[in-house]
C-alpha cells in the first residue's frame, strides 16, 4: 500500500463576531476501508478572495477505482484536482493521497526543445530511454520516441502526456479534461486507450470532464459537483466495454443530465 500524505492547512480566518457560514448539503461520500482507500478528503474549503470555490467538501476514492467528476464550469472540479495533485496548497481541510500520483491535463504540456522520450521521463531521477520507450509503446507511439513535439498530432501529443504520467507508476492518476481538445474520432480512441490502461495498471483515477457520455462509459462512479460540494453520486455497475446505445447507459446519462440541469435532447457536454 502506498504511503499517504496528510495536509491540514489554514490560510484564512473564519468569520468573526459570532458569524456563521451557511454550507450547502452534499451527498455523503461512499467510504472505503482505510486499507483500500486511495483518496480521503474531509472538510476541504478553498477560497479565491471572497469567492468560496470548495465548501467543506468530502470525497473518498477507493484504491483502483475510476471516478469521473462532472459539473458546470467554475464549480470547483479542477480546483479539487489541483489540490490532490499538490499544485495548490492554499486550502483548509484534511486530505490523504498517495505519494505516487501523476497528472495529465487538457494541454499535453510537452517541452518543445526536448524529444518525445525525454519529455516522458522529465523530472525522473532514473529516467532512462528504456523506461520511456516502454511507456510510449504502451500508448501506441513508440515509433515517435525521437521526434520533436511539434511534429506530433493532437492525439499523439496527448498519448505522450499519458505515457509521461504512467511511467511514474502512480497509485492515483488525475486527468483534467485530457480529451477536450481532440476531434471526435481521436477522442473515442483516446477514451478506449485510457480504459485499457486503467485496467492494466490498476491505479485509482479521477477524471474531470464536461462530457457526460464519457463519464458513464469509463467510470465506476460519477460525482456531480455543484457550488463547491458533491451534489449527487451515481454508481455505474455495468459490464465493460459499454455501448452508448445500451438503454442502461442512456438511462444513467439522462439522470446525470437532469442533475446537471441539461435537457436530454441536447449534447452530453456541460
- Domain interval for residue 79: 64-92+171-270
Q: Please check whether residues 129 and 256 belong to one and the same domain.
A: no
Instruction: Using alpha carbons, list the distances in angstroms from residue 198 to 2, 40, 179.
Output: 17, 20, 16
What nine digits make up the cell of 4? 499517504
169: left (phi over 0), alpha (psi -120 to 50) or beta: left
Q: Is residue 30 part of a domain?
A: no
Grid look-up 492554499 returns 90
Q: Band of the pLDDT at 212, cuts 50, 70, 90?
A: very high
**Lowest-confidence region among 87-96, 180-189, 208-217:** 180-189
What is the pLDDT at residue 178?
87
Strand pairing category for 221-226 and 229-235: antiparallel
What is the pLDDT at residue 21?
33
For the chain, the domain total comes to 2
Q: Please check whether residues 84 and 186 belong to one and the same domain.
A: yes
What is the pLDDT at residue 170?
94
231 or 128: which leads in pLDDT? 231
Taking 70 as the threshold, does the pLDDT of residue 79 lie above it?
yes
Whole-number mean pLDDT of the chain? 86
Q: Please check whether residues 180 and 220 belong to one and the same domain.
A: yes
For residue 138, list its beta bridge partners.
Answer: none
pTM for this structure? 0.85
Instruction: Using alpha carbons, list the distances in angstroms from residue 49 to 55, 82, 90, 100, 189.
Output: 14, 18, 11, 31, 40
For residue 270, list its beta bridge partners.
Answer: none
What nine digits make up the cell of 243? 455501448
What is the pLDDT at residue 85?
95
Amino acid at each position: 500500500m502506498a504511503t499517504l500524505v496528510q495536509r491540514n492547512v489554514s490560510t484564512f480566518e473564519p468569520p468573526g463576531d459570532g458569524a456563521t457560514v451557511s454550507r450547502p448539503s452534499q451527498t455523503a461520500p461512499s467510504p472505503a476501508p482505510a486499507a483500500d482507500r486511495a483518496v480521503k478528503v474531509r472538510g476541504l474549503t478553498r477560497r479565491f478572495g471572497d469567492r468560496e470555490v470548495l465548501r467543506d467538501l468530502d470525497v473518498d476514492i477507493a484504491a483502483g477505482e475510476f471516478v469521473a467528476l462532472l459539473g458546470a464550469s467554475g464549480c470547483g472540479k479542477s480546483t479539487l484536482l489541483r489540490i490532490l495533485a499538490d499544485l495548490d496548497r492554499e486550502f483548509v481541510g484534511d486530505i490523504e493521497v498517495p505519494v505516487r500520483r501523476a497528472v495529465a491535463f487538457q494541454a499535453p504540456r510537452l517541452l518543445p526543445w526536448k524529444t518525445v522520450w525525454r519529455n516522458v521521463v522529465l523530472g525522473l531521477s532514473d529516467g532512462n530511454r528504456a523506461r520511456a520507450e516502454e511507456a510510449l509503446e504502451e500508448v501506441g507511439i513508440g515509433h515517435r520516441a525521437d521526434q520533436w513535439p511539434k511534429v506530433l498530432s493532437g492525439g499523439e501529443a496527448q498519448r505522450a502526456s499519458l505515457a509521461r504520467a504512467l511511467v511514474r507508476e502512480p497509485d492515483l492518476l488525475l486527468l483534467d479534461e485530457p480529451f477536450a481538445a481532440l476531434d471526435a474520432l481521436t477522442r473515442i480512441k483516446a477514451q478506449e486507450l485510457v480504459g485499457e490502461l486503467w485496467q492494466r495498471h490498476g491505479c485509482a483515477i479521477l477524471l474531470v470532464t464536461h462530457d457526460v457520455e464519457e463519464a458513464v462509459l469509463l467510470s465506476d462512479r460519477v460525482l456531480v459537483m455543484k457550488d463547491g460540494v458533491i451534489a449527487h453520486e451515481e454508481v455505474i455497475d455495468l459490464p465493460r466495454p459499454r455501448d452508448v446505445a445500451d438503454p442502461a447507459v442512456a438511462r444513467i446519462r439522462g439522470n446525470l443530465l437532469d442533475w446537471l440541469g441539461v435537457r436530454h435532447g441536447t449534447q452530453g457536454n456541460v
